[in-house]
A and B are shown apart, each in its own frame.
Chain A
Amino acid sequence: DAGITQSPRHKVTETGTPVTLRCHQTENHRYMYWYRQDPGHGLRLIHYSYGVKDTDKGEVSDGYSVSRSKTEDFLLTLESATSSQTSVYFCASRSFDTEAFFGQGTRLTVV
């Protein structure tokens, strides 16, 4: 299995607070992605990265920002958490011309 670790695995936070989720990969993968999974919606892309300091927005990027200062780490930040951001967040990574490998997910609850 590819070494992709997400932290924390579970988090409960209050509305209006900032939250940062971390994705760490040990595969030297160039491409990394953040998705959210909600019932009835499958996985929706939040942000992605195609290299260090190179990131772009996905289809549901409002309220989220990302940073990638090292190949192995991709951080997702909720600037001011809202209840609509309660979800399961998945990180994925891959090399050029291969499939994506997924982390175990982070369950975030905003109360």
Chain B
Amino acid sequence: AQSVTQPDIHITVSEGASLELRCNYSYGATPYLFWYVQSPGQGLQLLLKYFSGDTLVQGIKGFEAEFKRSQSSFNLRKPSVHWSDAAEYFCAVGAEGGSYIPTFGRGTSLIVHP
């Protein structure tokens, strides 16, 4: 069975600082990987996804993530955080193939200090 671990429940950064949110997955083959963001009271919005190919994936809002098979990780990064990035971030995994079922981590809450 596939699973996702987001080890950090909360992350606090100062505006303008760099950010890295951690995500580790458990799956026996090459997975599909996703990062979603959720603002308060809203649904989830896709930041980026990895299906195959280049392991460094660029997303919206200046985010990127790198798939590292050897570490079973898909960490999310941003070089300079803006106050508007404060939100809940979810990593998700799916088995390779069109009929996959997305499995989510517990989320990381990002707090941005001015």
Interface residues in chain A, defined as those with a beta carbon under 8 Å from any beta carbon in chain B: 4, 31, 33, 35, 40-45, 48, 50, 58, 90, 92, 96-97, 99-105
**Any A CB within 8 A of the CB of B78:** no
21 contacts between A and B (CB under 8 A): A33-B101, A40-B9, A40-B106, A42-B6, A42-B90, A42-B104, A42-B106, A43-B104, A45-B101, A45-B103, A48-B101, A58-B101, A90-B44, A96-B98, A99-B46, A100-B34, A102-B44, A103-B43, A104-B43, A105-B41, A105-B43
Report the minimum CB–CB distance from A24 to chain B (whole Å): 14
Mask for B93-113, Cβ within 8 A of A = 1, else 0?
Answer: 000011101111111000000
Q: Please tell me if the beta carbons of A97 and B42 are within 8 angstroms of each other in the complex.
A: no
Chain B neighbourhood of A44, CB < 8 A: 104
Q: Number of contacts between A and B (CB, 8 Å)?
A: 48
Chain A neighbourhood of B51, CB < 8 A: 97
Chain A neighbourhood of B44, CB < 8 A: 43, 90, 92, 102
Chain B neighbourhood of A35, CB < 8 A: 104
Q: Please tell me if the beta carbons of B99 and A96 are within 8 angstroms of each other in the complex.
A: yes
Measured in the bound complex, the distance between the Cα atoms of B110 and A16 in whole Å is 37
Measured in the bound complex, the distance between the Cα atoms of B43 and A99 in whole Å is 14
Chain A neighbourhood of B103, CB < 8 A: 45
Chain A neighbourhood of B101, CB < 8 A: 33, 45, 48, 58
In chain B, positions 56-82 with a C-beta closer than 8 Å to chain A are: none
Report the minimum CB–CB distance from A41 to chain B (whole Å): 6
Q: Please tell me if the beta carbons of A42 and B99 are within 8 angstroms of each other in the complex.
A: no
By beta carbon, the residue of chain A nearest B106 is A42
Given contacts A90-B43, A90-B44, contact A100 B106 (CB under 8 A): no
Most buried by A among B9, B43, B99: B43
Measured in the bound complex, the distance between the Cα atoms of B104 and A42 in whole Å is 7
Q: Please tell me if the beta carbons of B105 and A42 are within 8 angstroms of each other in the complex.
A: yes
Chain B neighbourhood of A99, CB < 8 A: 34, 46, 49
